[in-house]
Chains A and B, each alone.
Chain A
């Protein structure tokens, strides 16, 4: 099933967002992921880890959990974002289609250190 960009679908306790190789669609999945899962913790005011390295064309699942308040993961260069709701896992399937270093950030204003809450995604061949 294909949804519009940035459409999320809650599946059980997890939100799964799939970004196609062209970043052109988002779909939901309910099956357990086969891809490598990279766990990322969001807490005031950091992503841990703050740097993620991926290979171009290799799909992964980014799994976010917030330790305190509502956060918003945003990776503008891949046109993808998702809410990170405390108490729930937010899963995002990503297949990077370009190499380089890209900024991801929190896009829901979460407090005094909000503007420093960002990280780096590096994609290599």
Chain B
């Protein structure tokens, strides 16, 4: 069996995203001699952003790539859950940013890297530029017995999934067994986390309703630039931190403006999580780690 990722490796990923083990997912039962696997979720790189909230705006993504590459045991794949780039009204600049982002992440050792758009990438042109560089904005794939579904709730600038994609989701779910381990990736939360800051998906409840009959569903998303864990019934929703700047907790600040950079405590407010589980109980256990090694 492969050497498991250790605490030092986790710390290398401090502030850079989420590490998710298959054994931490409900419904995944590893057979004798079967390797566990894990994937890394990276989110909200906002390539192209410039400003005081991150004096290292040009360097953070490259550091994330280096940190992932330095892991002794490499993840099976990496998932970027949107906002690869920071929005721009200029379509030429948008493509330049997407191109630069793609060039930087090309250095990842792991060659299975999957992408989905955030509203910064896709909402101004319905995902056109994103698709030119990264292909489809919603799709499925299977990996070692886990069914993964990537849902696009950003290409519509109204923050909707849309009936067409919901129909596609329904058709895909029909092919799944009731107890199949299913992981859903989205950019925005599927539930109303805080609509006052647009932290919601207008028709997200329809997707959650479709997923509800399935016993082992976990949702990973980005958008809010911070750890957040929420349950809709038996479905867990986990938000990842961003790679550019943290945002305030919902409603805890007058606006959703990025938190200021603290030179005394760089990367303050960032961190990472480990998701592990008692597979028999199909119950996630979340361990939070501070961003700075004590």
B158 touches A76 (CB 8 A): no
| Residues in A whose Cβ lies below 8 Å from that of B197 | 103, 105
Chain B nearest CB from A45 CB (Å) reads 11
Interface residues of chain A: helix, strand, loop or mixed (majority): mixed
Give Cα distance in the complex from A110 to B158, angstroms. Answer: 10
A111 on interface, CB distance cutoff 8 Å: yes
14 extra interchain contacts, Cβ-Cβ under 8 A, other than A102-B196, A107-B158, A109-B119?
Answer: A76-B195, A76-B196, A77-B196, A107-B159, A109-B124, A109-B159, A111-B87, A111-B89, A112-B87, A112-B89, A115-B198, A115-B256, A115-B257, A116-B257
Instruction: Tell me, in angstroms, the Cα distance from A115 to B154 when the chains sit together.
Output: 14
In the assembled complex, the Cα of A3 lies from the Cα of B108 at a distance in Å of 53
Which residues on A sit within 8 Å (CB–CB) of B159?
107, 109
The answer to whether A109 touches B123, judged by C-beta atoms less than 8 angstroms apart, is yes
Cβ A108 vs Cβ B257 within 8 A: no
Let me know if A74 is at the binding interface, CB within 8 A: yes
Chain A residue numbers with a CB within 8 Å of B123 are: 109
A-B contact pairs, 24 of them (CB 8 A): A72-B158, A74-B198, A76-B195, A76-B196, A77-B196, A105-B196, A105-B197, A105-B198, A107-B158, A108-B157, A108-B158, A109-B123, A109-B154, A109-B159, A111-B87, A111-B89, A111-B124, A112-B88, A114-B87, A115-B198, A115-B256, A116-B255, A116-B257, A118-B255
**Binary interface encoding of chain B residues 262-292 relative to chain A, with 1 for a CB under 8 A from any of its CBs, else 0:** 0000000000000000000000000000000
Choose among B87, B196, B257 the residue that contacts A103 (Cβ–Cβ < 8 A): B196
Residues of B within 8 A of A108 (CB): 157-158
A76 contacts across to B, CB distance below 8 A: 195-196
Report the minimal beta-carbon distance from A116 to chain B, rounded to whole angstroms: 7
Interface pair A110/B198, CB less than 8 Å apart: no
Question: Residues of A contacting B87 with CB < 8 Å?
Answer: 109, 111-112, 114
A95-109 Cβ-contact flags toward B at 8 Å (1 or 0): 000000011010111
> Roughly how many angstroms separate A112 CA and B119 CA in the complex, as a whole number?
11
Residues 80-124 (chain B) with a chain A CB within 8 angstroms:
87-89, 119, 123-124
Q: Which of A102, A116, A118 has the most CB of B within 10 A?
A: A118
Q: Which of B228-269 contact A (CB under 8 A)?
A: 255-257
A50 shortest CB reach to chain B, Å: 12
Residues in A whose Cβ lies below 8 Å from that of B89? 111-112
Residues in A whose Cβ lies below 8 Å from that of B257: 115-116
Contact present for B198 and A107 (CB under 8 Å)? yes
- Chain B residues lying within 8 Å of A110, measured Cβ to Cβ, are 157
Instruction: Please indicate the chain B residues that have their CB under 8 angstroms from the CB of A74 in the complex.
Output: 195, 198
Find the B residue at minimum CB distance from A79. B195
Complex contacts, B154 vs chain A, CB 8 Å: 109
Nearest-CB residue, chain B, relative to A110: B157
Q: Which of B195, B256, B257 has the most CB of A within 10 A?
A: B195
Q: Which chain A residue lies CB-closest to B122? A: A109
B152 to chain A, nearest CB (A): 13
How far, in angstroms, from A115 to B123 measured CA to CA in the complex? Answer: 13
B183-241 CB contacts (< 8 Å) to partner A = 195-198
Complex interface: chain A residues within 8 A of B158 (CB):
72, 107-108
Which residue of A is nearest B154, CB measured?
Answer: A109
Closest chain B residue, CB of each to CB of A75: B196
Chain B residues closer than 8 Å to A102, beta-carbon distance: 196
Which among B195, B196, B198, B255 has the highest number of chain A CB atoms within 10 Å?
A: B198
CA distance A112 to B91 in the complex (A): 12
CA distance A120 to B147 in the complex (A): 43
For A103, what are the chain B residues with a Cβ–Cβ distance below 8 Å? 196-197
CB of B291, distance to nearest CB on chain A (Å): 24
